[in-house]
Amino acid sequence: MGKYEDLAKLIVKEIGGKDNVISLTNCITRLRFKLKDEVIANTDILKQTDGIVTVIQSGGQYQVVIGNHVPDVRQDVDQVLGILESAPEGGLSGNLFDKFVDMISGIFQPILAPLSAAGMLKGLNAILSFALGAGFSSSSTYAILNAMGDGLFLFLPIFIGYTAMKKFGGSPFLGMMLATSLVYTGFIDGSATKLFEPTGGLHFFSIPFSLPAAGYGSTVMPIIAATAFGAYLEKQLRKIIPDVAKLFLVPFLTTLVTVPLTFLAIGPIMNIVADGLGQGLLAIQAFNPIIFGAIIGFTWQILVMFGMHWALIPFVIISLSQGTPTALITGAGSVAVAQTGATLAVLMKTKNKRLKELAVPAVISGAFGITEPAIYGITLPKKRPFWVSCLVGGVTGAIAMQLGMKTYQMGGLGIFRYTSLIKPDGNMSFVMYGVILDIAAFIAAFGLAYLVGFKDDEATITLSKAEAKKVATGQKSSVNKLKLFSPLVGNVLPLSEAKDPVFSEGAMGNGVVIEPTSGEVFAPEDGVVSSLFPTHHAIGILTDSGVEVLIHIGMDTVELGGKHYESFVIQGQTVKKGEKLLRFDMQAIEGAGYCVQTPVIITNTSNYGSIVATEKQNVSPQDILLVLMGM
């Protein structure tokens, strides 16, 4: 439990206890409960509790307004409640490729950590076998470690059955049930095929079918397609089966139809598709490995920024789960180290104190392969260091492919990726190549980034922390007032006219409401994206002058699940005034029955003596929206 344990326990108690909770979601400011009976909730007590701004009962939801730290409170509330089934995933938006990438990331991202851990265990076993000799390879210790590493890959369809079914909006445990049929004893080791050979092979009610040589264990594509069909069928059955029988008839009929169809058609077809796509990628790689490695190494960080790297991950997992080493992502191995070297160069060269503060943890996380803080907070805004890291990544990628380096199992990131380069016989030559390339990438990126330099714009630190504190405390300061520009094009209304009482009553802070006439949101000042809700309907900006700004697009639009919203930034990213942050489809949102009124709130209102809104009725991002005065 976290620091909000007491508050979480009180909330659960006063809403009527765990048994009164149907579901829980949260937006950027509030916990949104669906309760069996709202009458038994002690609303007055909750409203008077420290740490709770207010309580709103609207649209069938019991909303406990917390503030910007609601994700931390949510974690502790979840601990108190235990497991509650999440609402189904929202629909996919965007073009066909965007939908594919979104689907793949949603399916594989939740299991990537255990997949990496399994790969590292296999690497550890290989190291011990190499160090201790043949005797260890025949020991029970080896067998146990091997089971740790191989077990997940063998039963991979069960894990994917859960995440894929959830992504497609079905019941996750039903997805697992579908997957268990594919990896059932006899079907997973080929013994069923041999057993029924004397009687003409495998049949389902006289319809013949065949299994892959190694069964469906470790496969990926068949279970994804099976759960996509199963989720669709489940939804249709729920519409026509009476409530009294849904509990058992829906999973019964879904399984009865989906599993045989998977053995007869879905599985064989998807195996052919997977083999074709895999062979296509291998053909591209074989055409010119050096060029392939240079392209992967140079573009990898760009692919990560847009989530497009997920398009390659399934084919890596498929290859490794079949026991075949792959070079599909080997070219990207040293990119994280290059990014870390470039970030260190910025840290050493900049005179911007705030940038130094951001760079220190970015360097540390980069060493372990987590480069998003470095990309979005340091190198990308400075441009040249980012392109230096891409260039170095391209060169090391080409060299890695020239050396014939391959990945033998899933591994960690950064320095933890070395276990993935260990050959099954314990040979560590590729590990040594990886270490040498990483050292070279770090030195080259650091040196080049330091040499080419970057614009060390002092404007990015409009106010130092000390100066901002002077403004907030009323001390003599070189800054008399802070100006905040409009994040939208639209009509300005007093905050009191907001259609949500949480905003209209000033519970979240002072500000204004904008009725947008254009569906784009821009940064109102230089700063950092301090919060971005996954549905992209609300975003928080911490400006370089210390102003905490909340831009909340629409009322109750969290219920759209992200539909009709598109983000161009991520949490933690540094932004410039006027930079595009979000896009939203006003007509589609209003057509779904939601208001697009957008409150622009200063959530740290108490730090300022007064906040004055513009007198203009119509504003654009070139116009000053609010002026904040010191105490």
| Same structural domain, 395 and 421 | yes
Measured CA to CA in angstroms, residue 13 lies from 18, 145, 240, 419 at distances of 8, 45, 37, 48
| Same structural domain, 219 and 260 | yes
**pLDDT band per the 50, 70, 90 thresholds, residue 443:** very high
| Collapsed DSSP state (helix, strand, coil) of residue 352 | coil
454 vs 199 pLDDT, higher one: 454
Structural domains counted in the chain = 4
Q: Which residues fall within 8 angstroms of residue 243, CB to CB, at 6 or more apart? A: none
Domain for residue 148, yes or no? no
Distance (Å, rounded) from C-alpha 36 to C-alpha 286?
A: 60
Domain for residue 370, yes or no? yes
| Collapsed DSSP state (helix, strand, coil) of residue 188 | coil
Domain for residue 112, yes or no? no
Q: State the pLDDT at residue 376.
A: 62
| Same structural domain, 480 and 602 | yes
Least confident residue range of 34-43, 121-130, 557-566? 121-130
Domain for residue 320, yes or no? no
Distance (Å, rounded) from C-alpha 103 to C-alpha 402?
A: 33
Residue 217 tokens, joined: 């264990």
| Same structural domain, 394 and 542 | no
- Confidence check: pLDDT of 186 > 60: yes
| Same structural domain, 369 and 478 | no
Nearest to 527 by CA among 507, 543, 514: 543
Looking at residues 379-384, what average pLDDT do you find?
Answer: 82
| Same structural domain, 378 and 260 | no
Domain for residue 566, yes or no? yes
Distance (Å, rounded) from C-alpha 534 to C-alpha 528?
A: 17
Domain for residue 115, yes or no? no
| Beta carbons of 610 and 631 less than 8 angstroms apart | no
**pLDDT band per the 50, 70, 90 thresholds, residue 261:** very high
Of 262, 287, 312, the residue that ends a domain is 287
| Same structural domain, 362 and 431 | yes
Q: Which residues fall within 8 angstroms of residue 531, CB to CB, at 6 or more apart? A: 28, 68, 538, 539, 540, 571
Residues catalogued as catalytic: 27, 552
| Same structural domain, 606 and 505 | yes
What are the pLDDT digits (tens) for 266-325?
Answer: 989 988 887 777 677 778 778 888 998 899 889 888 776 555 666 677 778 777 777 788
| Beta carbons of 76 and 1 less than 8 angstroms apart | yes
DSSP string of 518-536?
SSEEE-SSSEEEEEE-TTS
| Same structural domain, 474 and 598 | yes
Q: Assign residue 47 the CATH number of its domain.
A: 3.30.1360.60
Q: State the pLDDT at residue 580.
A: 92
Measured CA to CA in angstroms, residue 289 lies from 407, 436, 534, 585 at distances of 15, 20, 38, 43
What are the pLDDT digits (tens) for 72-117?
Answer: 888 899 888 886 544 444 444 455 666 676 677 678 767 877 876 7
| Beta carbons of 589 and 557 less than 8 angstroms apart | yes
Catalogue the long-range contacts made by 607-613 (C-beta closer than 8 Å, 24 or more residues apart): 607/471, 607/472, 607/546, 607/631, 608/471, 608/472, 608/482, 609/474, 611/510, 611/511, 613/492, 613/494, 613/511, 613/512
Domain for residue 313, yes or no? no
Q: What percent of the chain has pLDDT over 90?
A: 27
Of 81, 109, 144, the residue that ends a domain is 81
| Beta carbons of 129 and 137 less than 8 angstroms apart | yes
Looking at residues 5-19, what average pLDDT do you find?
Answer: 90
Of 81, 115, 140, the residue that ends a domain is 81
Domain for residue 546, yes or no? yes
- Confidence check: pLDDT of 471 > 80: no
Distance (Å, rounded) from C-alpha 586 to C-alpha 592?
A: 10
| Same structural domain, 164 and 246 | yes
pTM above 0.85, yes or no: no
What are the pLDDT digits (tens) for 473-499?
Answer: 444 444 447 889 999 999 999 888 888
Which residue segment(s) compose the domain that 579 sits in?
465-629
| Beta carbons of 187 and 216 less than 8 angstroms apart | yes
| Beta carbons of 345 and 450 less than 8 angstroms apart | yes
Backbone angles phi, psi at 305, to 5 degrees: -60, -35
| Same structural domain, 299 and 257 | no
Measured CA to CA in angstroms, residue 571 lies from 215, 352, 522 at distances of 42, 21, 15
| Same structural domain, 518 and 623 | yes
Q: Assign residue 592 the CATH number of its domain.
A: 2.70.70.10
Distance (Å, rounded) from C-alpha 486 to C-alpha 168?
A: 38
